[in-house]
């Protein structure tokens, strides 16, 4: 049996999804313009699908799992389980209006026309806010709608905001934050679940590695306790004596989000020769 995974055929999720598979040690037999490909060294088949079709393929059990935007699951994938947040393709679903639109609160959209490719997400948000508006469903370039008089506002995904800027729009409300996720079909065959668990374990190891840095440093023995206190590591740092008397080498890991803060403190405590290396995988 093989695990069937769907990824976006083209677009912003495609390349990062394939990179994640490579980082998991999975080699793909991927010819040009193929719609399906098999892994050489793991029981896995890839289906390259249109992004908007993936939720239905998951619901129907045509594929066992998928790398997909969280925002699309909210829109089309109710009851589909999210297994892992993957940390790439981050964006937000937002409301935007023309730069000349005098906007103060969401109530300013009462009775207005909103163009969107995410009608369910938009309508649910408007219902929560007690706002009645007319939705125009558009597949494609939503940003043009206010400029051609089709709508007063739009609801769409926003990454950098540059597309809004180019179309003389301003972001006024963030409905939700989104990123790529690993999602599972509710109809996974029992024999495939074990393969999915192995695949998920590999993904977790890759993601943990991205969150940490491996640190090697030299420290005076008289400062070992204070320096070790700054480097908890996975359990505790590794301490090895150096040839030079009175010094030791310390090996540990540091979370990336506090990395520079920790490095500054290590230097203040007398650490020298600090080397920092990326971690490819972290298996706990």
What's the pLDDT score for residue 232? 67
pLDDT tens track for 37-52: 999 999 999 999 998 8
Which phi and psi angles does 67 have, rounded to 5°? -100, 120
- Residue 48, H or E segment: strand 44-49
Query: Computed over its alpha carbons, how large is the radius of gyration of the chain?
Result: 24
Is the pLDDT assigned to residue 147 strictly greater than 80? yes
Lowest mean pLDDT segment, chosen from 42-56, 108-122, 138-152: 138-152
Q: Helical H runs in 45-180? A: 54-60, 70-76, 119-129, 162-166
What's the pLDDT score for residue 35? 86
What's the pLDDT score for residue 282? 85
Read off the tokens for 73.
């699951």
Quick one: average pLDDT of 180-201?
95
Residue in this structure with the two tokens 């390259």, named with its chain if needed: 48
Closest CA to 154 of 169, 176, 132: 169
Angle CA 23–24–28, to nearest 5: 85
What's the pLDDT score for residue 56? 94
Quick one: average pLDDT of 176-187?
95
What's the pLDDT score for residue 107? 95
How far is the C-alpha of 62 from the C-alpha of 42, rounded, in Å? 19
What's the pLDDT score for residue 139? 84
Average predicted confidence (pLDDT) for the chain: 91
Query: What does the domain layout of the chain look like in residue ranges?
Result: 3-89+179-209, 91-177, 212-278
Read off the tokens for 209.
């590695």
What's the pLDDT score for residue 196? 97
Quick one: average pLDDT of 121-137?
95
What's the pLDDT score for residue 233? 63
What is the number of H-type helices and E-type strands within the chain? 8, 16
Q: Helical H runs in 132-258? A: 162-166, 190-210, 224-230
Q: Domain 91-177 is in which class?
A: alpha beta
Quick one: average pLDDT of 230-242?
82
Quick one: average pLDDT of 78-92?
92
> Which CATH superfamily hosts domain 3-89+179-209?
Periplasmic binding protein-like II (3.40.190.10)
CATH of 212-278, one of 3.40.50.300, 3.30.70.120, 3.90.1720.10, 3.90.1150.150: 3.30.70.120
When pLDDT is cut at 50, 70 and 90, the band that residue 283 belongs to is: confident
Domains 3-89+179-209 and 91-177 share a fold: yes
Is the pLDDT assigned to residue 161 strictly greater than 90? no
Quick one: average pLDDT of 75-79?
85
Is the pLDDT assigned to residue 29 strictly greater than 90? no
Closest CA to 105 of 156, 171, 172, 175: 172
How far is the C-alpha of 27 from the C-alpha of 36, rounded, in Å? 14
């Amino acid at each position: 049996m093989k695990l069937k995974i769907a990824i976006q055929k083209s677009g912003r999720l495609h390349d990062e999804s394939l990179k994640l598979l490579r980082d998991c040690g999975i080699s793909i037999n991927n010819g040009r313009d193929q719609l399906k490909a098999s892994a050489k060294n793991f029981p896995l088949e890839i289906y390259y699908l249109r992004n908007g079709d993936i939720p239905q393929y998951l619901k129907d059990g045509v594929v066992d799992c998928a790398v997909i935007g969280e925002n699309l699951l909210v829109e089309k994938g109710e009851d589909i389980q999210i297994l892992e947040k993957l940390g790439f393709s981050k964006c937000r679903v937002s409301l935007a209006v023309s730069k000349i639109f005098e906007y103060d609160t969401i109530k300013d959209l009462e009775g207005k026309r909103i163009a969107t490719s995410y009608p369910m997400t938009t309508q649910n948000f408007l219902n929560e806010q007690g706002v009645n508006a007319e939705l125009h469903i558009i597949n494609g370039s939503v940003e043009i709608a206010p400029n051609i008089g089709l709508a007063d506002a739009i609801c769409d995904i926003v990454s950098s905001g540059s597309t809004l800027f180019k179309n003389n729009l301003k972001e006024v409300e963030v409905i939700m934050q989104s990123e790529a996720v690993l999602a599972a079909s509710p109809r996974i065959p029992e024999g495939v679940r074990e393969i999915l668990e192995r695949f998920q374990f590999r993904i977790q190891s890759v993601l943990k590695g991205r969150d940490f840095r491996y640190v090697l440093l030299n420290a005076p023995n008289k400062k070992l306790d204070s320096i070790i206190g700054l480097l908890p590591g996975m359990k505790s740092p590794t301490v090895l004596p150096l040839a030079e008397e009175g010094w030791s080498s310390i090996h540990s890991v540091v979370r990336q989000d506090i990395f520079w803060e920790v490095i500054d403190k290590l230097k203040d405590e007398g650490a020298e020769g600090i080397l920092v290396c990326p971690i490819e995988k972290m298996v706990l």
